[in-house]
Structure 1
Amino acid sequence: MTLLAVERIKLFTTRSPWWCALITLVLTIGFAALVVGNSNDQEIPATVASTQFGYAFGMAVIMVLAALAVTTEYRFGTIRTTFQAVPHRTSALLAKTTVVALLALVIGEVSAFGSWGVGKLLKPNADLALNSSADWINVAGVGVVYALAAVIAVAIGVLIRHSAGAIALLLIYSLAVESLVRLIPSIGDDIYKWMPFNVANKFLTGSGASNGSRAADAGSPMSTAVLGQGWSLAYFAGFAAILLIAAIWSANRRDA
């Protein structure tokens, strides 16, 4: 049995992934229904971007799922059994990260296209067709961002090893810290342009083409990142990779 199969079995035999997946779908699709359902053609028209308004809330849940996937093993001591069975810890952690990231990718795509589908159902006459690359990235790119966010969460889980601490750090940082950075006098806005989740948002929203004619007013808030969409994805992926490398290095140097 391969390491990927082992990690898949361990992940899906617990309840937390199922609950987190359900909560993610309810949050993202529910927000899409609220936003699109209350839109109107005169003042707040429904757009492709507005159907993805709740993706950040779903991403927060995905990071909880990913963090729990590793911290629960430290909590109950099963990580010791894993490392005894697979002395090459790097392989075990990479397998776990891959399985969690793939699950996050699937959940992200289902939630994104589900949100878009609800928008089409509620506003059949609105311009919600995926006619451009910007539209497709705004929807299909959610799964990619979720997968990379899951990698970040696994890395933080390995580094901290405690569920409460890892989850608190992830949620506080992604939902509050980056925005609060903008309050720093003189340099706050410049620092914020390079914060990882702000850059990830730039990958999804680009220049705002999927917002239709309302540009920055429709959908989730526009990113202030200075990178283009492709480079924004590369930057976010690089950030996730650096954290994962640091986590694996730490796991190899200390006791389980």
Structure 2
Amino acid sequence: MTLLAVERIKLFTTRSPWWCAAVALTIVIGFAALITGTAPSDFPITVATSQFGYSFGLAVIMVLAALSITTEYRFGTIKSTFLAVPNRTAVLLAKTGVVALLALVIGEIAAFGALGVSALLAPGSDLALNSAADWRQVAGVGLVYAITAVMGVAVGTLVRHSAGAISLLLIYVMVVETLVPIIPRVGDDIYKWLPFNVAEKFLSGDGAVRGASEGPPLSTSTLSPWVALAYFAGVAAVLLTAAIMVARRRDA
């Protein structure tokens, strides 16, 4: 518990988490307001459309998570931490837990805030959470953000440089996963197993409760929603394990 308290204090005494949280909330809720407020009268406003901006907030969560560890390497505070607590595994797990919890809270506030704004701007639309799929679409955003934060901390630990870690994370999500499907013959098969495509399957399922044009693009993964979440979490666990092993072997 002491380690968790220390990591919480270190995280919240810097400006970057506050700025990142504010930006993520503004983007997700702002997109919902923009889409709902400017939609033509015949455009269906649904639970899915209210969550259209979650992927942009996801990029901000990556930045937040990466900065939580790379700034410690940049300013050398990680050395003092490892001297005070020689168990590096415990330190990194505590930091990851605190950052993931913050990402979870941001995700839930953003998702339900976006839903609330949409309901306020389009009171006649059907935005009730009537099914498990609807609940996953909204409440699941926090879980995806939390797991993404674990990945961000892991990559930040491996790279140790803020610019490098952030660039690697954003390029992967925004470029690599987007371009893989265009690889001849094998692209679509590979894309089915890429982590953020699989995470989308958890959130949107097979799209049975919404049209393909409502909300973010549907996932091509063949996994069921909860298995997809487990797979996504497994990828994050592998990355974090690799990061901890590397951190234990090299100098701070």
Residue in structure 2 matched with residue 250 of structure 1 by the alignment: 246
1:25 aligns with 2:25: yes
Match of 2:122 in 1: 123
Matched-pair contact (CA < 8 Å) for 1:71–1:158: yes
Task: Name the counterpart of 2:147.
Answer: 148
SS at match of 1:182: helix
Q: Summarize the alignment of residues 93-108 of structure 1 with structure 2, pairs less than 5 Å apart.
A: 93-108=92-107
Q: Which runs of 5+ in 2 are unaligned?
A: none
Structure 1 residue 183: Cα displacement: 1.2
Deviation at 1:39?
Answer: 2.6
CA distance in 1, matches of 2:73, 2:179: 32
Q: How many pairs does the alignment contain?
A: 252
TM-score, normalised by the number of residues in structure 1: 0.97
Quote the offset at 1:210 in angstroms: 4.2
State TM-score, norm by structure 2: 0.98
8 Å contact 1:135–1:209 — kept in the other structure? no
Separation in 2, partners of 1:33, 1:210: 22
Could you tell me which residue of structure 1 aligns to residue 91 of structure 2?
92
**Hey, what's the Cα distance between the residues in 1 that align with 2:170 and 2:99?**
18
Task: Give per-residue Cα distances to partners, 1:126-157, cap 9 Å, x unaligned.
Answer: 01101100000000000000000000000000
CA distance in 2, matches of 1:141, 1:92: 27
Give the equivalent residue in structure 1 for 2:113: 114
Shift of 1:217: 1.2
Q: Which residue of 2 aligns with 1:185?
A: 184
**How far does residue 209 in structure 1 lie from its aligned partner after superposition?**
3.6
Give the distance between the partners of 1:242 and 1:126, measured in 2 at CA. Answer: 42
**Hey, what does 2:233 align to over in structure 1?**
237
> What amino acid sits opposite 1:112 in the alignment?
A
Alignment match, 2:34: 34
CA–CA distance in 2 between the matches of 1:170 and 1:210? Answer: 31
Q: Which runs of 4+ in 1 moved over 2 A?
A: 38-42
Cα distance in 1 for residues equivalent to 2:121 and 2:209:
18
Counterparts in 2 of 1:210 and 1:139: CA distance versus 1, 3 Å: farther
> Shift of residue 35 of structure 1?
1.4
- SS at 1:73 equivalent: helix
Percent of aligned positions with the same letter in both sequences?
68
Question: Alignment RMSD, CA only?
Answer: 0.9
In the alignment, structure 1 residue 208 sits paired with structure 2 residue 218: no
Q: Which residue of 1 aligns with 2:49?
A: 50
* Correspondence for 1:162: 161
